Amino acid sequence: MKTTIAEVSKFVGEEVTIGAWLQNKRSSGKIAFLQLRDGTGFMQGVAVKAELGDDKFQQAKGLTQESSLYVTGVIVEDSRSSFGYEMQVSNFEIIQEAKDYPITPKEHGTEFLMDHRHLWLRSRKQHAVMKIRNEIIRATYEFFNQNGYVKVDAPILTGSSAEGTTELFHTKYFDEDAYLSQSGQLYMEAAAMALGKVFSFGPTFRAEKSKTRRHLIEFWMIEPEMAFMDHNDSLEVQEQYVSHVVQSVLENCKLDLEALDRDTSVLEKIKAPFPRISYDDAVQLLKEKGFNDIEWGEDFGAPHETAIAESYDKPVFITNYPAEIKAFYMKPDPERPEVVLCADLIAPEGYGEIIGGSQRIDDLELMRQRYEEHDLTGEAYKWYLQLREYGTVPHSGFGLGLERTVAWISGVEHVRETIPFPRLLNRLYP
């Protein structure tokens, strides 16, 4: 019977065959422990000389790292491993004996591992991060589908810029100029006027010359947009969504979190509601914490966000930033037009901003005024203005950066390990 490591619990006491790679091995004169992985999981195979016979046992002892095999044996319970099962190997067939594998169990430098990303993905920790990423995506679709949202796909090639023109990737679109999408938001606003509650999930691009542990050039964003919802309604969606994602990972990725040595007690606390602090109070808090340089009207940097997050054990919303430092489409607070109805959600433990969101301007005249201030001319922006001409309604939305969320939940230091093939300032390969 052919099966996979993920399925072996159904075959205790039975003989099965698994296609696998040899990750590592230990052996003595009479017994060899084969660390097997098959993509679905990790399991030990125990090869005993008396069972296999001399020749086969010698062959097992000589297997090189990452050799591919069909391994046959009986599945038994193994209470010593957290996986809980192992295989008593009765036979194996070598598919290919691997050459000297570059990534050995010893420590390697980051640049070396990044150069070998196509192979590094096979390692236990990288596998665990990819499984957690997958679970976050699964839980995202689950949450929004359960709550009546429609998934809408935004274009990647665009004529407009949502988040400012300085970080755009330019390309030719036949005779026209085009840009790689920075955000699907403007399109989601159109979609929300057609479908009510929508979300997009796709790649976004920022030609940011930043080399930090939070920045990728190409990253994936989940962007919900809701008609008839105001800023506060949106914050409630955000805290429920993030809680759902974290609790789903805790429930469905136990072995992966363990492989990453993630402290799960901090994740267990991540349940709605989340604390909120206004930008004004955040500036005050920073001054109290010794950041004397920060002045009202300035944007926060990573050290500021980290210092604010330290005061909480849940993600914290920083709300109502000065309009000056935020995007053109954000709705001013009617009581205090110098600030906008927006929030950034800052993750705990120094992972920084994972969500940016706001209520959008729904007033045609005010939007016209913003177009003039920001010089948004030409065909590329005409359609967006029309959304305010034909039955405009209050609406809000947000964007969650997938990789920063994966980094936080997995507890990995740098976003480069949270996407299969990261695009960084100086890296386009592999």
Binding site for Mg ion (CB under 5 A): 356
Nearest-angstrom CA–CA distance, 27 and 30: 8
Distance CA 101, CA 104 (A): 7
State the nearest-atom distance from the C-beta of 21 to ligand 4AD, in Å: 31
CA 63 to chain centre: 36
Q: Which option in ligand 4AD, Mg ion, none does residue 223 bind, with CB closer than 5 to 8 A by kind? A: ligand 4AD
Of the candidates 15, 22, 7, 150, the one whose C-alpha atom is nearest the C-alpha of residue 83 is 7
The minimum distance between CB 344 and ligand 4AD, in angstroms, equals 6
Of these partners, Mg ion, ligand 4AD, none, which one is at the site of residue 183 (CB under 5 to 8 Å by kind)?
A: ligand 4AD
CB nearer to Mg ion: pick between 65 and 182? 182
Helix axes 364-374 and 379-386, enclosed angle (nearest 10): 160
Q: Residue with CB nearest Mg ion?
A: 356
Residue 398 interface partner, choices ligand 4AD, Mg ion, none, CB cut-off 5-8 Å depending on type: ligand 4AD
The binder of 185, among Mg ion, ligand 4AD, none, by C-beta within 5 to 8 A per type, is: ligand 4AD
Residue 422, binding choice from ligand 4AD, Mg ion, none, Cβ under 5 to 8 Å by partner class:
none
CB of 353 to ligand 4AD, least distance (A): 4
Of 267 and 302, nearer to ligand 4AD (C-beta) is: 302
417 binds, among ligand 4AD, Mg ion, none (CB under 5 to 8 A by kind): none
> Least distance from C-beta 238 to ligand 4AD, angstroms?
11
Q: How many CB atoms lie within 10 A of CB 67?
A: 20
Q: Which residues contact 338 (CB under 8 A, 6 or more apart)?
A: 322, 323, 324, 332
> Residue numbers of the site for ligand 4AD (CB under 6 A)?
162-163, 183, 185, 206, 208, 215-216, 219, 221, 223, 353-357, 397-399, 401, 403-404, 415
Rounded Cα–Cα distance for residues 355 and 423 (Å): 21
β-bridge mates for residue 199, sequence order: 151, 224
In whole angstroms, how close is the CB of 164 to ligand 4AD at the nearest point?
9
In whole angstroms, what is the distance from residue 241 CA to residue 237 CA? 6
Amino acid at site 188: M
Q: How far is the CB of 74 from ligand 4AD (least distance, A)?
A: 47
Indicate the length of the chain as a whole number. 430
Q: Pick from 389, 185, 355: which is nearest to 276 by CA?
A: 355
Read off the tokens for 379: 């065909």
Q: By C-beta, is 130 or 180 nearer to Mg ion?
A: 180
Which tokens is 407 given? 């980094």
41 vs 422, beta carbon nearer ligand 4AD: 422
- Which DSSP letter does residue 229 get? -
